[in-house]
Structure formats: structure tokens, C-alpha cells
Amino acid sequence: MVSKTRFWYPFILLMFLCAGAAMDTIRPGNHLNSSTTVVSVGEMFELGFFQPTDSEHYYVGIWYKNIKEDPVVWIANRDYPVTASAFFCISDDGNLEIKQGRIIYRVTDMTLPNANVSATLLDSGNLILRDENSSILWQSFDFPSHTYLPGMKLGYDTRIQSTWSYVSWKSSNDPSPGNFTLKLDSGPEKQIMIMNGDAIYWRSYRSWGDRDNFFEFPVETRLNMYNFSFVSESDTAYLTYNIYTNDTISRFTIDATGQLRQLLWLDNEWSMLNSQPMQPCEVYAYCGANSSCSNMSSPICSCLPGFKPSSVEFWNNGDFKEGCSRKNELQCGKNDGFHLLTKVILPQKHLTQEVQSFGDCRSSCLTNCSCSGFSYTDRNCSIWTGELINLQQLPVNNSSGTDFYLKLAATDLETKKESSSNMRRTVIVSVIVTMTVFTSAFCIWQVKVKRDKRKGQDLLSFEVTMSPSHTKKEQCKGRWQVEHEKEVEIPLFSFSSVSAATDNFSFSNKLGEGGFGPVYKGKLLKGDEVAVKRLSRQSGQGWDELKNEAMLIGKLQHKNLVKLLGCCIERDEKILI
Ligand SMILES: *[C@@H]1O[C@H](CO)[C@@H](O)[C@H](O)[C@H]1NC(C)=O
Ligand SMILES: *[C@@H]1O[C@H](CO)[C@@H](O)[C@H](O)[C@H]1NC(C)=O
Ligand SMILES: *[C@@H]1O[C@H](CO)[C@@H](O)[C@H](O)[C@H]1NC(C)=O
Ligand SMILES: *[C@@H]1O[C@H](CO)[C@@H](O)[C@H](O)[C@H]1NC(C)=O
Ligand SMILES: *[C@@H]1O[C@H](CO)[C@@H](O)[C@H](O)[C@H]1NC(C)=O
Ligand SMILES: *[C@@H]1O[C@H](CO)[C@@H](O)[C@H](O)[C@H]1NC(C)=O
Ligand SMILES: *[C@@H]1O[C@H](CO)[C@@H](O)[C@H](O)[C@H]1NC(C)=O
Ligand SMILES: *[C@@H]1O[C@H](CO)[C@@H](O)[C@H](O)[C@H]1NC(C)=O
Ligand SMILES: *[C@@H]1O[C@H](CO)[C@@H](O)[C@H](O)[C@H]1NC(C)=O
Ligand SMILES: *[C@@H]1O[C@H](CO)[C@@H](O)[C@H](O)[C@H]1NC(C)=O
Ligand SMILES: *[C@@H]1O[C@H](CO)[C@@H](O)[C@H](O)[C@H]1NC(C)=O
Ligand SMILES: *[C@@H]1O[C@H](CO)[C@@H](O)[C@H](O)[C@H]1NC(C)=O
């Protein structure tokens, strides 16, 4: 909204009113110019004009007062850059405005009964406009830019026509709205999505329900640092969070390349706790429908067995969006069968139901014409219908991954039908081979971890007051990888001692169940109590994530956080203490 100026303040008045600028509040008649700012009471945030690196433009924004590296969290005029001669003020009618010569950009546009309003920058980073009775008329938290701060919302409220979504910058030097938007899906699944223009770029696997009330990113649920809450009513749904420790600085940003990053200010730099999508295979429908993605192979997309590229020409040119279609249509009945894919990350969108057996699950897919595949674990039968999106094939030596049964027409099933005893033998042999591979991988890894320590330590006699020491610094680079990492050494405990401390993981010691496995109370010989997180085998959590996480918790030796004493990795068990 750009409109002609209706009035112009005398220069003298400006000089006079700007005198007492080092405050947290702008009142009618006050102005900010390109070199004056307001600062929140606790000196957390600063509001004023800023100039992006290598840019001649000026913007009104909010940034961390004491952080120089990538500090901007909010921008008032993303679409309307101004010059150094602009002012930011409260207009006669009580609205926030940016004036440059005769041009006015209205940051807020409200009709107010009384123009006696004031704008205050809070320590949360929220700029609030209040009337004389201190009722909030407007707040910057309701108009997010690219940064999702504690206390902000991600979602929508249809009653007040509000959408809390986050739009990337065009580039790192250009805050104007970019291609990527972080938002909450308004469908029943309530997933978090990154849109690239109008197309889905990434969506969280997890949806927000009553039970799994945790964020997609696994790490912070175990850090016990973030308190996420999800509100869902008929007209409104949003995700919000706060941080238990009020001196911790953390935020989410959606950057110009479409990466959603979770950052924590630690040791004078932004540490990245998480970044999504982690790799191209996680980009929504990167390989199109009915294909599998594996970043270890080249090209990274391939059609599922029994499928062929929908457009061979596009496919061969590395454009996989068209996906794959069936070589032979399903017969919708007895002539169809299943092809087993092992070690996959399951496709998106499925329905899960409880069944008595594998056979029940198999037949419920077989008898349903629209079923295109199923997966079965512990009585949970997941059924996919229609297209299969984002199936990922993991390498054989990866310790995570699930079995997926792909429904195919009989003619597309493997022609060399082995006799069942042959089949059984093959299965047994491959199980043994796989187990050997894992066991040796684990052994190699354990040797690496243990280094001089010969065996896992005894948790029961561990001195809780000892804390892990920070050691060598290591930096990894790469778009899809964690950019900044410090290694810390963490003690490794024996499984038997962990088991003893938790009374054999007894139910009475169970404290709760997180998204990635149960948490137990453990008791040490000296009476100290510890929390023991046993990562579930289905969590899909690999060693790398566990290691990253353990290192992260190790780094975060904060008084209010649960301290990481160590971990235990033995056989299939991955445990954090
Ligand atoms: C902004 O206001 C301050 C305080 O009144 C003044 O010293 C400074 O010269 C002004 N800067 C510009 C660019 O007008
Ligand atoms: C504006 O409101 C403040 C209280 O928020 C009050 O102290 C002040 O006197 C009011 N000013 C006018 C001109 O009414
Ligand atoms: C502030 O409160 C007073 C007394 O309740 C009321 O008369 C007045 O209209 C209120 N002002 C605004 C702007 O709501
Ligand atoms: C954003 O979209 C435009 C138009 O589709 C494209 O030219 C540009 O490369 C995109 N930018 C990024 C960072 O993807
Ligand atoms: C977590 O956040 C919710 C909603 O803001 C709040 O009601 C609850 O008290 C918070 N929990 C803790 C432990 O701070
Ligand atoms: C943080 O919390 C402590 C105790 O609750 C309080 O004394 C302190 O003022 C708070 N700090 C900030 C910056 O809010
Ligand atoms: C593939 O993904 C794995 C796990 O996400 C990662 O460790 C590896 O570096 C990726 N490889 C490539 C070539 O991107
Ligand atoms: C993928 O397979 C499903 C189920 O067989 C089918 O409905 C869909 O049309 C296929 N997609 C493409 C792009 O051929
Ligand atoms: C097939 O399964 C889907 C998903 O479970 C269900 O919505 C549909 O009604 C089923 N169709 C038949 C014919 O059972
Ligand atoms: C089966 O589903 C239930 C409810 O959806 C869930 O609590 C449980 O963890 C699932 N079990 C497995 C092995 O996935
Ligand atoms: C898995 O195998 C591939 C190729 O055989 C190898 O490059 C990779 O390092 C192995 N990964 C692990 C974790 O052993
Ligand atoms: C196994 O696959 C998962 C999912 O892609 C990946 O995150 C993990 O790093 C892999 N683990 C190994 C040891 O390659």
C-alpha cells in the first residue's frame, strides 16, 4: 500500500522528538530514522532500519541486539525497500508507517477510535501496538517474515482470516518474499509443509494428532528444551512453542534455498540443530509417483519393480516429476501378488489399522482394488492407496528401514518363481548375511567409539557429577548436511548395567513414551536417579542421528536441561541416559 503523503512534519520537531530514542517504545510524534533504533527492555531485540549486505536498500526490521551473524528476524516492508532518508513512525491516525519523502508505506492499516497508541518492542521480539488502555491492537508476531521465534504461531485461524506462515527471502541479501513458504496443512493431516510456489516441496511425515504431540524434528523432543503445543479447534489450528530456559536463544528459519533450519545460539555462533529437507530424497515427490529414491544410486530415482517411466524422455533427462506407471494393470483379485521391498522408508500418506496377523493385513490389501501396497509391524497394518510418493530405498547396510509389500499384477511379479522351501532358504541365508553385516558394522563402530575404553562402563556405579569434556572441533560442509559440529566424548555404558538400573526396563519404572521410544527411570547405587531413553527399533533412527544428538546434548550442558550422562549401544539397543 503506497499512498501520497497527507502531511509533513517540520524538520525541527523531528530533531526534538528523536532525542530520547534509546527506549523500547515509539509514541505518536516519535520517529525512527535510518540511524536511530528502539531496544527491548532486556536488550534482546532492536527495531530500526537495516541494510542487507551488498544492498543499497533500507528496510525496517527487528534483529537480535547482541548477535551480528544473520540477526534479522522480522521485516516490516519486505516489498517496499526505502532509502536512508526514510522515517518510521506512528501516524496521526494511530497506524505504523514508513515515510520517504511524499511516499507512505502503511505497516498497519486500522481504523482506530483514538489515535493515542504506542508501539513497544518486547524481549520476545514481538512489536506490539497498544491503545491507551494497553489493549493490543496489532502485533508483529501475527505477520511473520521468515523467522519462527518462540511464542509465534505456525498455522491459521479462519475466523479472523489469519494465516501464520513463513516466507523465505529471495536471496540472502534480498528480504523480498522468495519462493518458499513454511505453513501448516489445513487438511485433516495437519502436516508441516514447505511450499515452492504452489507446489509442495517438503512435508513432514508426522501429522499432529492428540497423541503424537511432538515436532517432526526428533532432536528437540529429547533435549527437553522446547515446549511445543498444538492447538486445533474447528476454525483454528496452530503449532506454537516456547523454550523452558528463558536465556536460550533459538529459532526456526526458512531460507532462500527452501531449507527449514532450527538454530540455537551457542558459543557465539548459530548451531544448527536440524535442517529439512535433509536430502533430495526427502523433497516431496522428487522422483514423482510410484518410484523409489536412493541418494546412494545414480540416477537417484528409479521406477518401482513392475513400473516404467511415465515419460521416458523426461526421465532420461533427469526430470523425474512425471513418475512411473504400471507395466501391467492390476487384475484386482486373485491374480495380483506382492513384491517385497526391504529396507525402505515408507511412502507418504497411509491408513493404519490394527489386525490380528500378517495374513489379515495382506488379504485386506489384496481384496481392495485401490490398495497399492502394505506394511505390517506388530499388528499394525498400514495400507496405501493410489500413488506411492516418497518411497526411499536405504542401502542394505543401513540399520533402519522397513519392509514394504508392493502390489503387482501377476505378470509383473518375478517370473522365476522359486519353490517355497527354496524361498525359505533364501530368506534364512539373507537374514544371516544381513545380521552378519550389521553385527560387524556395529562392532567396527563400537571399537571406534570405545577407543581406549574396553567395555561399556557400569552405569550403576557411575558418578553423576562427572561431565563429558569438550574435545576436538570438526566442521562438515554440504547443503544437505549438518554444517557445524563439535565432537564431544560421551561415556558408553553396558547394556546389562542399564538394564539393572531400570529394573529390567520394568513397566513401573516407565516415565512416559516419546515419539521415538519409551523413557524409564533408573536408579544408581548412590541413589541418583537417571532418565533412560530406549530408542524404539521402529523409530528409523540411525547411528548417525543418535551420535549427532548425543553430541548436541553433550554440548548443551545447561543447568535446566537434562544432562546427557552417556549412551549404550549394544546389539539392537540404542539408549540415551
Ligand atoms: C537521526 O536522528 C538522530 C537523532 O536525532 C540524528 O542525530 C541523526 O543525524 C539522524 N540521522 C539521519 C540520517 O537523519
Ligand atoms: C495517551 O495514553 C497514555 C497512557 O497510555 C497517557 O499517559 C497519555 O496522557 C495519553 N495522551 C493523550 C494525549 O491522551
Ligand atoms: C479505555 O478505557 C476507557 C474506560 O474504560 C474507555 O472509556 C475508553 O473508550 C477506552 N479507550 C479505548 C481506546 O478503548
Ligand atoms: C524461484 O522461482 C523462480 C521462478 O520459478 C526461479 O527462476 C528461481 O530460480 C527460483 N529460486 C530458487 C532459489 O529456487
Ligand atoms: C507448555 O506450553 C503450554 C502452552 O503454551 C503451556 O500451557 C504449558 O504450561 C507449558 N509447559 C511448561 C512445562 O512450561
Ligand atoms: C529468566 O527467568 C528468571 C527466573 O524465572 C528471571 O529471574 C529472569 O529475569 C528471566 N530472564 C529474562 C531475560 O526474562
Ligand atoms: C545420503 O543420505 C545419507 C543419510 O541421510 C547421508 O549420510 C549421505 O551423505 C547421503 N549421500 C549423498 C550422496 O547425498
Ligand atoms: C501410480 O500408481 C498408482 C496405483 O497403481 C496409479 O493409480 C497412478 O496412476 C500411478 N501414477 C502414475 C503417474 O502413473
Ligand atoms: C479400500 O481401502 C481404502 C483405504 O483403506 C478404503 O477407503 C476403501 O473404502 C477400500 N475399498 C474397498 C472396496 O474396500
Ligand atoms: C501401532 O499403532 C499404535 C497406534 O497407532 C502405536 O501406538 C504403536 O506404536 C504402533 N506399533 C508399531 C510397532 O508401530
Ligand atoms: C554401506 O555400504 C556402502 C557401499 O557398499 C558404503 O559406501 C558405505 O560406507 C556403507 N555404510 C556403512 C554405514 O557401513
Ligand atoms: C540410514 O538411513 C537413514 C535414512 O535415510 C539415514 O538417516 C541414516 O544416516 C542411514 N544410516 C547409515 C548408517 O547409513
> What confidence tens digit (pLDDT) does each residue in 222-269 have?
456 777 888 888 889 998 888 888 788 999 999 988 889 888 888 888
Measured CA to CA, the distance from residue 517 to residue 414 in angstroms comes to 37
pLDDT band at 45 (very low <50, low <70, confident <90, very high): very high
Q: Are 59 and 125 in a shared domain?
A: yes
Question: Could you say which of 239, 259, 278 is where a domain stops?
Answer: 278
Question: Could you say which of 141, 168, 185 is where a domain stops?
Answer: 141
In a domain? residue 419: yes
Specify the pTM: 0.65
At 175, the amino acid letter reads P
The domain total for the chain is: 5
List, chain by chain if needed, residues with CB within 6 Å of any ligand 2 atom: 116, 132
In a domain? residue 12: no
Q: In testing the pocket of ligand 9, which one of 349, 363, 385 has its CB within 8 Å of the most ligand atoms?
A: 385
Q: Is 101 in the pocket of ligand 11 (CB under 6 A)?
A: no
In a domain? residue 3: no
Assign residue 173 the CATH number of its domain: 2.90.10
Q: Is 275 in the pocket of ligand 1 (CB under 6 A)?
A: no
Q: Are 119 and 69 in a shared domain?
A: yes
Instruction: Write the residue with the smallest CA distance to atom 2 of ligand 11.
Output: 397
Q: Are 301 and 404 in a shared domain?
A: yes
In a domain? residue 416: yes
pLDDT band at 433 (very low <50, low <70, confident <90, very high): very low
Tell me, what's the pLDDT at 79?
92
In a domain? residue 2: no
Q: Are 416 and 404 in a shared domain?
A: no
Q: Is 325 in the pocket of ligand 8 (CB under 6 A)?
A: yes
Atom of ligand 12 nearest to the CA of 441: 13
- Give the range of the structural domain holding residue 426, as residue numbers without chain letter: 411-454
Single out the residue of 177, 172, 155 nearest to residue 164, CA to CA: 155
Q: Are 311 and 224 in a shared domain?
A: no
pLDDT band at 323 (very low <50, low <70, confident <90, very high): very high
In a domain? residue 49: yes
Instruction: Write the residue with the smallest CA distance to atom 12 of ligand 5.
Output: 227
Measured CA to CA, the distance from residue 218 to residue 222 in angstroms comes to 7
pLDDT in tens, 73-114: 999 999 999 999 999 999 989 999 999 989 999 999 998 887
Q: Are 401 and 484 in a shared domain?
A: no
Q: Are 91 and 217 in a shared domain?
A: no
Question: Could you say which of 83, 117, 141 is where a domain stops?
Answer: 141
Q: Is 295 in the pocket of ligand 7 (CB under 6 A)?
A: yes
Single out the residue of 347, 342, 396, 343 nearest to residue 373, CA to CA: 347
Assign residue 505 the CATH number of its domain: 3.30.200.20
Q: Are 473 and 487 in contact (CB under 8 A)?
A: yes
Strand order across the beta sheet in which 236-243 lies? 162-164, 153-157, 236-243, 226-232
pLDDT in tens, 200-227: 898 886 665 433 444 445 444 445 677 7
Tell me, what's the pLDDT at 60?
97
Q: Are 149 and 270 in a shared domain?
A: yes
Q: Is 397 in the pocket of ligand 11 (CB under 6 A)?
A: yes
**491 CA to centre of ligand 4 in angstroms:** 47
Sign of the four-CA dihedral 73, 77, 83, 89: negative
Q: Are 131 and 154 in a shared domain?
A: no
In a domain? residue 129: yes
Single out the residue of 340, 368, 369, 343 nearest to residue 353, CA to CA: 368
Tell me, what's the pLDDT at 139?
96
Q: Is 289 in the pocket of ligand 8 (CB under 6 A)?
A: yes
In a domain? residue 15: no
